[in-house]
Structure 1
Amino acid sequence: MTVRTQGYLFVAITMLIWGGFTIFSRLNAGWHISAWDICALRFTIGFTVLMPILIWRRETAFLWKKEPFILGLLGGVAYCLTSYSAFHYVPAAHAAIFLNGCIPLCTAVAAYLLFKQPFDKHTWISLIIMLGAISVMSLMMYEQTHVALSIGDGLFFLSAIWWGIFTVLLKHWKLSAWQSMSGVAIWSALIYLPIYILFLPKHFQEASLMHLAIQGFFHGILVVIVATLSYVAAIERLGAFKTGSIVTLAPFMAALVAVPLLGEPLNTAMIFGLVGMGVGALQPWRWFNRKDPLQQQLNAQKKTASH
């Protein structure tokens, strides 16, 4: 299997899990699994799997630095609570629009506010497209239902803010994929579980054991561990731009799948929002006149070998 083929295989794995996140998170509402409970399940399983491995490998020293704690608080606890809660209020298509569609924009804004990194022309184009899409979609929704935005949309946008800050800090601190994944999973459990056990409502008895097992495996193993490792592996083989552009399609595809699979509504306003936010997030114009980084590397190796 060639390096490029391996890269696309890892991209496919990541897309399936990221797309599944939208479907399975929306299923929580129908399966009577609250946001409090799914977070506890996710963090408990992640901690139970990863902490023994870190102890066995004697790699726990990095956990006691401020970086993993902050990343766990933002990309773990805050992100999961707001995103899982949002799925109880609005259909899956809203997640693609207000969460996944807004993450690139929130990341660019966070980079500017935290480290004064200026917007490039691609970010400005995306900003104009996204603001235009949201404005038109909100106007169309208001004309149809007299409600432009809901609490679920606000929670998704807040989730995009958390993830944007998390992404910028992750790049700035340059932690490895293993340290990032395990640090976020373990600190999420250490921060959230004591609060959950002592103060938050619990509704596990309202869900079936089978549904809890399915959600626990998907969110605690596939999302936390497998998707993180497959995404990093894809970036190493295909480059960050191509990998990021392809996997960003997953939530938008999941929103369409949710229509027949979950009986989700999809009106003209939401279709317009999906298309507009998808174009803004994917930035398809950047594919033109942009050489494949893997092919550039292979060409350089050939040139070196010939000399």
Structure 2
Amino acid sequence: MMNTRTQGYIYVVITMCIWGGFTITSRLNVLWHISAWDIAALRFTLAFCILMPILIYKKDTAFLFKKQPFILAMIGGVIYCLTCYSAFLYVPAAHAAIFLNGCIPLCTALAGFLLFKQPFDQHTWLSLVIMLVAISGMSFLMYQETGVAFGFGDLLFFISAIWWGIFTVLLRQWKLSAWHSMAGVAIWSAVVYVPFYLVFLPKQLDQVTMPHLIMQTLFHGIFVVIIATLAYVEAIKRLGAFKTGSIVTLAPFIAAIIAVPLLNEPLSGAILCGLIGMGIGALQPWRWFMHQDSLQQGLDQQKQRQ
């Protein structure tokens, strides 16, 4: 039997592989001519077809009629996916690691402060300073190299980080289970978005080869929506919030490096500056020298009381 820590690391590896794969496959959509409208519809449709029968079989559909799953689906499902997938059409995968994954911790902290008056801790302030320096250095170098500091895709990634930050704070505040959160987002996203997509939005699925279409649908509909969510939550239970979050945040940065030879994407000095700076700010490596994160301490205190 594996101990709890080993199980936690296995769940972390699963999550990392899927999160890193999300960055690579989302960029592949550009090469394979799969639009943001199409991949979002395929993702939500497949997840709906898998999850809805399970909920009906378990007679566990009552939670869907509460406002919380619907709001989470609109923010962390429909709007987030459309802005994120669209961003990959304009900029390389490395930009996703910088402006999406790198900015998510800060956007989450900012959303917590604005929505629920949750104060910044000292680690957040230090991360903010590091990231601002990294972004400033990156923008200066990019302007020197290309004459443009930021692109439209970078803006879309940053907006996506804002949506995900709000989603994370609401999810934490409302204390929904991992299963209900994941199922609610997937099902309501499909119910709202897919009919709108079928009636109003442009489609270019006829330009996509069937193997590419099947691969992207299975990966984004099953692995990203279902497996990664559940694995991430199980890892947090076993390793704590900070350690899990720090490790899995590495995945998009690693994927950005892999995309250089795999997708023949450029890795300039400006991008390298952004990756290193945003990676340090997001990972907060200085906290690894602390004994435990606050969540883990709370769990240990609960065990002692029992």
Give the structure 2 partner of residue 191 of structure 1. Answer: 192
Once the two structures are TM-superposed, the CA of residue 2 in structure 1 deviates from its matched residue by 1.1
Trace 1:216-235 onto structure 2 (pairs within 5 A).
216-235=217-236
Give the structure 2 partner of residue 214 of structure 1. Answer: 215
> Does the C-alpha gap of structure 1 residues 123 and 295 become closer, same or farther in structure 2, counting only changes over 3 Å?
closer
In the alignment, the residues of structure 2 paired with residue 45 and residue 203 of structure 1 have an alpha-carbon distance, to the nearest angstrom, of 18
Give the structure 1 partner of residue 56 of structure 2. Answer: 55
Give the structure 2 partner of residue 258 of structure 1. Answer: 259
In the alignment, the residues of structure 1 paired with residue 102 and residue 289 of structure 2 have an alpha-carbon distance, to the nearest angstrom, of 21
Q: TM-score, normalising length from structure 2?
A: 0.96
Deviations 1:15-54 (A, max 9, x none): 0000000000000000000000000000000100000000
Give the structure 1 partner of residue 124 of structure 2. Answer: 123
Give the structure 2 partner of residue 246 of structure 1. Answer: 247
Are the counterparts in 1 of residues 241 and 296 from structure 2 also a CA contact under 8 Å?
Answer: no
Are the counterparts in 2 of residues 82 and 158 from structure 1 also a CA contact under 8 Å?
Answer: yes
Are the counterparts in 2 of residues 130 and 277 from structure 1 also a CA contact under 8 Å?
Answer: yes
In the alignment, the residues of structure 1 paired with residue 71 and residue 298 of structure 2 have an alpha-carbon distance, to the nearest angstrom, of 37
Compute the RMSD of aligned alpha carbons.
1.8
Give the structure 2 partner of residue 148 of structure 1. Answer: 149
Once the two structures are TM-superposed, the CA of residue 288 in structure 1 deviates from its matched residue by 1.2
Q: TM-score, normalising length from structure 1?
A: 0.96
Trace 1:20-99 onto structure 2 (pairs within 5 A).
20-99=21-100
In the alignment, the residues of structure 2 paired with residue 148 and residue 96 of structure 1 have an alpha-carbon distance, to the nearest angstrom, of 17
1:169 aligns with 2:179: no
> Does the C-alpha gap of structure 1 residues 171 and 297 become closer, same or farther in structure 2, counting only changes over 3 Å?
closer
Are the counterparts in 2 of residues 4 and 294 from structure 1 also a CA contact under 8 Å?
Answer: no
282-291 vs 95-104, which deviates more? Answer: 282-291
In the alignment, the residues of structure 1 paired with residue 299 and residue 190 of structure 2 have an alpha-carbon distance, to the nearest angstrom, of 41
Give the structure 2 partner of residue 135 of structure 1. Answer: 136
Once the two structures are TM-superposed, the CA of residue 191 in structure 1 deviates from its matched residue by 1.1
> Does the C-alpha gap of structure 1 residues 174 and 295 become closer, same or farther in structure 2, counting only changes over 3 Å?
closer
In the alignment, the residues of structure 1 paired with residue 109 and residue 237 of structure 2 have an alpha-carbon distance, to the nearest angstrom, of 22
In the alignment, the residues of structure 2 paired with residue 130 and residue 83 of structure 1 have an alpha-carbon distance, to the nearest angstrom, of 20
Are the counterparts in 1 of residues 249 and 283 from structure 2 also a CA contact under 8 Å?
Answer: yes
> Does the C-alpha gap of structure 1 residues 118 and 296 become closer, same or farther in structure 2, counting only changes over 3 Å?
closer
**Which secondary structure state, in structure 2, belongs to the residue aligned with residue 117 of structure 1?**
coil
In the alignment, the residues of structure 1 paired with residue 86 and residue 249 of structure 2 have an alpha-carbon distance, to the nearest angstrom, of 22
What is the number of residues matched between the two proteins? 304
> Does the C-alpha gap of structure 1 residues 299 and 162 become closer, same or farther in structure 2, counting only changes over 3 Å?
closer
In the alignment, the residues of structure 2 paired with residue 17 and residue 163 of structure 1 have an alpha-carbon distance, to the nearest angstrom, of 17
Deviations 1:201-260 (A, max 9, x none): 000000001100000000000000000111011011111111001000000000000011
In the alignment, the residues of structure 2 paired with residue 220 and residue 271 of structure 1 have an alpha-carbon distance, to the nearest angstrom, of 32
Structure 1 counterpart of 2:228, one-letter code = A
In the alignment, the residues of structure 2 paired with residue 31 and residue 242 of structure 1 have an alpha-carbon distance, to the nearest angstrom, of 36
In the alignment, the residues of structure 1 paired with residue 32 and residue 191 of structure 2 have an alpha-carbon distance, to the nearest angstrom, of 27
Give the structure 2 partner of residue 280 of structure 1. Answer: 281
Once the two structures are TM-superposed, the CA of residue 290 in structure 1 deviates from its matched residue by 2.0
In the alignment, the residues of structure 2 paired with residue 213 and residue 118 of structure 1 have an alpha-carbon distance, to the nearest angstrom, of 45
Give the structure 2 partner of residue 109 of structure 1. Answer: 110
In the alignment, the residues of structure 1 paired with residue 58 and residue 75 of structure 2 have an alpha-carbon distance, to the nearest angstrom, of 26
> Does the C-alpha gap of structure 1 residues 291 and 173 become closer, same or farther in structure 2, counting only changes over 3 Å?
closer
In the alignment, the residues of structure 1 paired with residue 150 and residue 68 of structure 2 have an alpha-carbon distance, to the nearest angstrom, of 35
In the alignment, the residues of structure 2 paired with residue 203 and residue 43 of structure 1 have an alpha-carbon distance, to the nearest angstrom, of 17
> Does the C-alpha gap of structure 1 residues 78 and 296 become closer, same or farther in structure 2, counting only changes over 3 Å?
closer
In the alignment, the residues of structure 2 paired with residue 299 and residue 116 of structure 1 have an alpha-carbon distance, to the nearest angstrom, of 26
Once the two structures are TM-superposed, the CA of residue 178 in structure 1 deviates from its matched residue by 0.2
Once the two structures are TM-superposed, the CA of residue 291 in structure 1 deviates from its matched residue by 3.4
In the alignment, the residues of structure 2 paired with residue 226 and residue 131 of structure 1 have an alpha-carbon distance, to the nearest angstrom, of 34
Kindly, what percent of the aligned residue pairs are identical? Answer: 68
In the alignment, the residues of structure 2 paired with residue 193 and residue 131 of structure 1 have an alpha-carbon distance, to the nearest angstrom, of 38
> Does the C-alpha gap of structure 1 residues 203 and 8 become closer, same or farther in structure 2, counting only changes over 3 Å?
same
